[in-house]
Amino acid sequence: MFLFDEPSPPPTPIATAVQQDTQAPPVAALASMPPIADIAEAVKPWVASISVETVFQGVFTDFTDEGAGSGIVVRPEGYVVTNYHVVAGARDIKVHVDGQTYDGRVVGLDDVTDLALIKIEASDLAVARFASEDDLRVGEWVVSLGNALSLKGGLTLTVGIISALGRTIQTETGQWFYNLVQTDAAMNDGSSGGPLVNLNGEVVGINQAILRQAAGMAFAVSATDAVPVIESLIEYGRVVRPLIGFDGDDVTPAISSHFQLGVLEGVLVTSLTPRGPAFEAGIRLGDVVTKMDGIPTPDVSTWLDLLWRYEVGDEVNVEYVRNARVDTTTITLAER
């Protein structure tokens, strides 16, 4: 890999997923694609390049670091979504969109999905359209745009396919992210926060993470997960999520056998909020949650996706297994 003497942008999180092979699509399929240049021309007006300045405190003096990322205009009055890690701790934010440069300020953060909302003083901006997850298929063509490596000359465009849906990854910082879109469209530092769009120019994901030790593996926050987060950040400046009061891990056959759980899949309760909703409802460490309102929860990703569809105050009927026996309880969700 060639190295450039450019300022180092904040690193895109490094996923620790399992590598899988990717294969180039048949040449014949290329003939049926619409002109990528037309897609790029249509979406570029609402794709932002973001530059940030962050101050780190030293023993004797403070140090300034410069970085870069990307963003997506989501409201004509100047709301721009990007990744949380792009602007975390930033003292100064510049947003470059459609040939203009604006000062940006953070108005909302969500570290659960790694999303952040920036406000710039602008009006009548072109805005992105978001696709429905129901329309996504593995193998579908996608286009990625972003401020890759903060190179001079404008946005970088790459093309690939959707390699997988519903991916779970753990970054090098130890944080888990769920229900991600996997693509083989090339991304680099600075691509974070940029759009992954389909051939209709609709956002199917917000670029988030890459796997450095693998070729052609990048991940994006799904549009389905991003839209309600963006709307909540605009309205409240934060994301209002329900709190069930426990954390969990996936049950595997090996774990089930070792601890004699009596069930081969589900969410193993590994920590409880003291006097939280789950604790008050009778859930205890070592229980395995298998259903919520009759819907199976075979793993953490499915469980969280289902949980975040509820609202604060909702009552949820939870099925769980303890000592190989099935039981149920009702949990009233609090606010996270």
pLDDT digits (tens, 9 = 90+) for 66-95: 788 999 999 999 999 999 999 988 889 999
**pTM, two decimal places:** 0.78
How much is the average pLDDT of 313-335? 95
In which domain, by residue range, is 68 found?
46-120
Per the domain annotation, does 189 fall within a domain? yes
Mean pLDDT of 242-247: 94
Q: Do 155 and 44 form a contact (C-beta atoms < 8 A)?
A: yes
- DSSP code of residue 171: B
Q: Are 151 and 169 in a shared domain?
A: yes
pLDDT score for 92: 93
Q: Which two tokens stand for residue 206?
A: 């917000």
pLDDT value at 294 more than 60: yes
Task: Judge if 184 and 203 occupy the same domain.
Answer: yes
Q: Are residues 134 and 228 both part of a single domain? A: yes
The per-residue pLDDT for 23 is: 53
280 and 306 both lie in a single domain:
yes
Residue 20 belongs to a domain: no
Q: State residue 213's pLDDT score.
A: 74
Alpha helices in 64-112 (DSSP H): 84-87
| Residues 252 and 330 occupy one common structural domain | yes
Give domain status of residue 26, yes or no: no
Name the domain boundary from 193, 217, 236. Answer: 236
Assigned domain for 19 exists: no
Specify the CATH number for the domain of residue 85: 2.40.10.10
Q: Decide if pLDDT at 16 tops 60.
A: no
pLDDT digits (tens, 9 = 90+) for 277-288: 999 999 999 999
- Residues 223 and 249 both lie in one domain: no
> 219 lies in a domain?
yes
Among the listed residues 114, 189, 225, 299, the single catalytic one is: 114
Find out whether 189 and 199 touch, Cβ atoms under 8 Å. Answer: no
Question: Do 183 and 222 fall into the same domain?
Answer: yes
Closest CA to 83 of 116, 50, 107: 116
Q: Is 103 a catalytic residue?
A: no
Confidence class for position 327, pLDDT limits 50, 70, 90: very high
Residue 31: band (very low, low, confident or very high) from pLDDT cuts 50, 70, 90: low
Strand partners, 65: 54
163 plus 200 within the same structural domain: yes
CA–CA dist 71, 192 (Å, integer) = 8
- What would the mean pLDDT of 200-229 be, rounded to a whole number? 90
For this structure, is 287 an active site residue?
A: no
Q: What is the mean pLDDT of residues 121-130?
A: 96
CATH number at residue 287: 2.30.42.10
Does residue 116 sit in the same domain as residue 200? Answer: no
Q: How confident is the model at residue 6 (pLDDT cuts 50, 70, 90)?
A: very low
* pLDDT for the residue 20: 43
| 18: exposed, middle or buried (Cβ count in 10 Å: 0-12, 13-18, 19+) | exposed
Q: Which of 210, 236, 262 marks a domain boundary?
A: 236
Separation of alpha carbons 112 and 78, rounded Å = 24
Give the domain-ending residue among 236, 256, 277. 236
Give the per-residue pLDDT at 12.
Answer: 55
Average pLDDT over residues 109-137: 91
192 catalytic per annotation? yes
Token output for 67: 């970085």
- Do 225 and 153 share a domain, yes or no? yes
Catalytic residue of the set 85, 110, 222, 225: 85
* pLDDT value for 173: 77
- Spot the catalytic one: 51, 70, 192, 301: 192
Is residue 147 located within the same domain as residue 232? yes
Question: Does position 8 have pLDDT exceeding 50, yes or no?
Answer: no
Query: Does the residue 284 lie in any domain?
Result: yes
Q: Locate tokens 């962050």: which residue?
A: 54
Q: Are 291 and 215 contained in the same domain?
A: no
Residue with tokens 């953060």: 109
DSSP for 276-330, please give it: -HHHHTT--TT-EEEEETTEE--SHHHHHHHHTTS-TT-EEEEEEEETTEEEEEE
Task: Quote the radius of gyration of the chain (alpha carbons, Å).
Answer: 21
Q: Is the pLDDT of residue 197 over 90?
A: yes
Residue-wise pLDDT for 135-185, tens only, equals 789 999 999 999 988 777 789 999 999 999 988 888 877 788 988 999 999
Transcribe 237-272 into DSSP letters: SS---EE-SEEEEE--HHHHHHHT-S-SSSEEEEEE
Q: For the chain, how many structural domains are there in total?
A: 3
Instruction: Compute the distance between CA of residue 299 and CA of residue 189 in angstroms, rounded to an integer.
Output: 31
Rounded mean pLDDT, 94-119:
95
